Structure 1
Amino acid sequence: MDFLIKQYSFYNYFFKGIVNKKQKPYKELFEKGKRCHISMFNAKLKKSSTALLVTALLVPGLSLHSKVAHASSEGIVNASSLNVREQASTNSKVLGKLKNNEVITVNKFVGKWAEITYNSKTAYVYSQYLDTVNSQTNIGKITASKLNIRSSADTYSSVIGQFKNGETITYKPVNSKWGEVTYNGKKGYVYLTYVQKIASSEATGSSQTNTGKITASKLNIRSSADTYSSVIGQFKNGETITYKPVNSKWGEVTYNGKKGYVYLSYVKKVEGTEATSSQTNTGKITASKLNIRSSADTYSSVIGQFKNGETITYKPVNSKWGEVTYNGKKGYVYLTYVQKVSNGIKMQTTASALNVRSQPNTSSSIIGKLTKSDIVSVEPVSSTWGKIALNGKTGYVSLNYLKEVSGSSAQPDNQEQQTTTKTGYVTASALNIRQKASTSSSIIGKLAKNSSVSILSIENNMAKISYNGGVGYVSMSYITYTKPSTTTTKPVENYYVNASALNVRNKPSLSGSVVGTLANGAKVDYVSAVNSEWAKIKYNNKDAYVSSQYLQKSTGSSYVDSTGVNYASLKNKVIMLDAGHGGKDSGTVGNGMYEKDITLDMVKRVKSKLESSGAKVILTRSDDRYLYLSERANLSNNSNANVFVSIHVNSATAPSARGVETFYFGSTSATLRNSSASAATNILDELLKVTNSPSRGVKTANFYVIKYNHKPSTLIELGFISNTSDASYLRDNAYRNKAADAIVKGLAKHFD
């Protein structure tokens, strides 16, 4: 040992004398020689600990005590809302909540928990409900004409193969310059200067399970990831399999209980409800009876049964089977007969009093009670227990004393009631003012039609108002935020039609009969504005009505309607519309509607209206398909869009939560931030003119599609699908048209 160290000391001293003279050829010789010398020394030492000691002694700057850096990463919230806790425990205090799709920075992972910084304090969230933005395994595209694959991470090692230009590979960075790959079943290394990293959403690592469909007539299953290994079985054309990519060409599968490999050129990746086995879903049994089996195949023994309509929790193990817990044992059910439902199920208490416990068992402490007929949002954690939120804490209740409320699903929201003070106006001929927030409460006064009221808060569709120096309550069903028109008939003014043809109706509604048609450029005898959507005109010396959106005050290029909106600002503008959710992602569900259906219908309506004003429209999706959040952002970033608008609807545990809101990302670029805020503000202003739903304001948020968007962008929440009043608007065809018109007007004002 001493001899080796002395020998190296002489060697190092000799070559450093040459290198210090800055003679480049000798410097390169020194570096090569030093590597060979160190390898020779380590080869002579039999014990790894001795080899490490020698290497540490010989290599300048190398320490025996290495320190692993905890590099921060980003995560996306995949739950409807995620509790932020003071400690890494479900019993710890809840400091706040994160919204679905919110992007956060993870400091480090502590077991099943992720440490984050929340309001300048260290906090924790459950990592199961986070999707990582950047994974350890990346996907890249070769940019060199040919790229050598070497046996080790340096340019002096042997070449064991090559990748061609444009080829897509998977790799794991080992440092800033080199990446580790698998080539013909062996480990190799490539120089990352010639590998262009592509979208992280496309990256697949060996730990990720995908579902695919066989496209070849028959596909061999091999014993290792190369074409030289033995064939251990075959998959048939059209068969659905689950696999883990091991590189860009091969995927690992399980066949007859053994590990095998298939060539991915003949496997088409599919999307569906087949979530990874670590994800717990809630489902409802659709078969009359569903067998629970001992393993995930139809040949295994039956260990029990679920009944029709029963709610269960399960973990998908592939596209066909789900793992469940039955009588304390692991079992498997066929997912064809399990309908997936949203995490929160609205349920009603059937017992006179139901204990809420700290853990899902009868021996844990009681933290509260529910009374009969109470409705709560329940997330089943087993076949007999459900998790609920009670007074800011997590509790557990027995499912034996709860029944599901028909046709409902709920997702938690941070706000349970509207607290923004606004002025409302009475639409009924007379409106009762009640002592309490209930229609059965005693009447303490009345309001006449068109009276204005100051709304302090809203709960259960009852508005708390200021009345006679105190407070009272009125029904929101008879309140509007649109100030009643006091306009008297004005002298006739001349307007012109800016549509190709404009229907004239006998009343200010699409349900009114068409009594005539006006051609483009036709002069219109304008009388007055009926509301923000319709204008009263003279037609054949009689009162009639037309849509004011298609009127302008002059025949010039400035299309200004009766409300002062200049639609000419939209001409030749490129607008990308994003219908939230889609495909396997239904979004929020409530009152018999799916969010993904509403958003798709809305973008089509907005598209039609924008194009009639000369705008060019791009849709992220035009049908019921699933898109990753990164795909939506990339579509915008790679387009020539002037603005990006993502349309959604909201949901909450509390049925009283309602309202319209818009979001934008607080970018460090002032130009991008201000432009996004302008779009969000103008759209919300116009939406509030056509709905009785309250304003929840313009807010900044870290939603993926706006945070990672390089174009001015906004995300719209049109209302709460979980609130009966908002849901009635969202279902109404006429309201959807008004909302679409409002979005168009908001964009016109944004560009004007």
Structure 2
Amino acid sequence: MIVLLFSIQIPSAEAATLEGETTVNLNVRATPSTNGKLIQTLKKGTKVKYGTHNKEWSKIYLNSRTYYASAQYIKRITAPATTVTKQTATSTGVTTVNLNIRVSAYSKAKIYRTLKKGTTVQYVVHNSSWAKVYVDGKTYYAAKAYIAPKTVASQPTVVKEDGHANRELKLFGYRNQRSTVLKVLPAQTAVVSSKYNSSWSVVYIGSKTYYAPTAFITAGAAKPTVVKENGHANRELKLFGYRNQRSTVLKVLPAQTAVVSSKYNSSWSIVYIGSKTYYAPTAFISPGAPAVTPPPATKPPVVQKVTGYANRNANLYKKTIQSSPVARVLPKYTAVTYSKHNSSWSVVYIGTETFYTPTSWLSAGKAPAAPAATPKGKVYTNTPGDVLNVRASASASSTILGRLAHGTQVDHYGSTNGFYKIKYNGRDGYISTAYAMTLKPSATSNAVIVLDAGHGGGDPGAVNGSLYEKTVVLDVTKRVEAYLRSKYDYQVRLTRSTDVYLTLDQRVQTAKTLRGNLFVSLHTNAATTPYAKGVETFYSSSSAHSAKSRVLATDIQSHLMGKMSGMTNRGVKTANYYVIRYNTMPSALVELGFISSPQDITHLRSDASRQRMAEGVAEGIAKYVRAYH
């Protein structure tokens, strides 16, 4: 699509440029037209870099962008001849951008490879603009301006020392004690380190390095010997990763659990479990083995199980307290087996699991027949031009039992997981709440859809021979209109239905005047290379309707690619194009393909492909309308 609509330029880092000087106060425009947007006025005598566009217009390169100015008011400055001294010895350099490596010193020569920014290369100067680059044992060429000499700094000698942590040693990824602690070493741990500066040291563990305060490391081996003792927890024993009872509890040992520990200080002990260590309060550990509790002298009472049913919707708990989490709910009249736990609670048996529930919620004997469910309300299906699936469960992936036409009235029995429960052919069925409403819908949507065919009149848009963008998009736009009217009976309005020119603001104001509910602008793309191809849809993240605009663009791109699977899917993107940023309704802009692409142009010329494009755009719009209108 041409730059008249979007004012977007793609500069080429390697394009050949000329040096020139303005001969008058010269207007610089966004497009090669006297109607193009005025970007800047250059004073007479301003030095500029420029290139040839056509007989009347030159390309002007300003601020890394490409604009246009009248060619007759730019005088070329001939640079003095320079003598290039060949450089026989190679130099080591580094690429300052993602750099194209070409087979000859010419900006349109074949690209052998693109080196990423920061790649080290061997090179020599070829001429004032190009360098010879040696890649894979062969000689190629690259723009000299994007290769910088590489300097190699001398590395200081690192002196590693053996030592140990003289206290608990926290290891960091940065020289900042407020940064994340990556590892903690207990006091007396042997470490290998080197001095980074007077405050910090580098600690080496395997192939990894960390930073630690130098003051926390003492040279030489640790002296004290750890004395481990057998004991037991004299109460419930919480184990911590730090010597602080407000820190996270890593493990809890029941009272009387045997433990192996050593004294850390008068308040804390280290507890050893397997290869791991923890901290615990010393007062919670007693020496020696735990006392053995003799088995009870009497046999436990025999449990008397009763067959009964829930006399209400009964909550089941894992504890005998109603403020604890509900583990399961028994629907009213469900048959259960239970036994008395105490005067208030009963134990309920379900399979191999047991639960607690208040005894008053259970009754002995056979449950009476559950009364027939009564509807909770009526809803109407809302799928203009389509049908609604009835599913076997409240899931979009469950089995389809049947389908209901648009506007069908059904009784519902409540909703769950985004689905209404209904009766369908004598059994339970589920329909999506997103496609149901409490008021009977009209036969079709009241939404007003505004379609905008880009360019027109004296603005042909992108051109390839006899094929104009304005002609292609007007044809596809009319096909979208006809499809939406015939299949869905939607209200469709066009910003232009003939070959006339409208400004960007006129298109926005027309959509507003038509009281549109959504706006879709159709275009074809164009590029300076024949390799760019494919379909893409844009929405503006800066508009007041960006959320719905994103849904609209996504629906259109999805259905359009479903119809045009042979074309490249460039996806949904954001852009602040005028007609979608400043519109007063959800808006999307569709690029139907590149008129400059040999592959895409076959579709843009074909009536059959244009019809499929129109149907894809229309079905995407219809999906959006069904969801929001």
Fold shared, TM-score > 0.5 on shorter chain: no
TM range (shorter): 0.3 to 0.5
Give the number of the structure whose alpha-carbon radius of gyration is greater.
Answer: 2
TM-score by length of 2: 0.35
TM-score by length of 1: 0.30
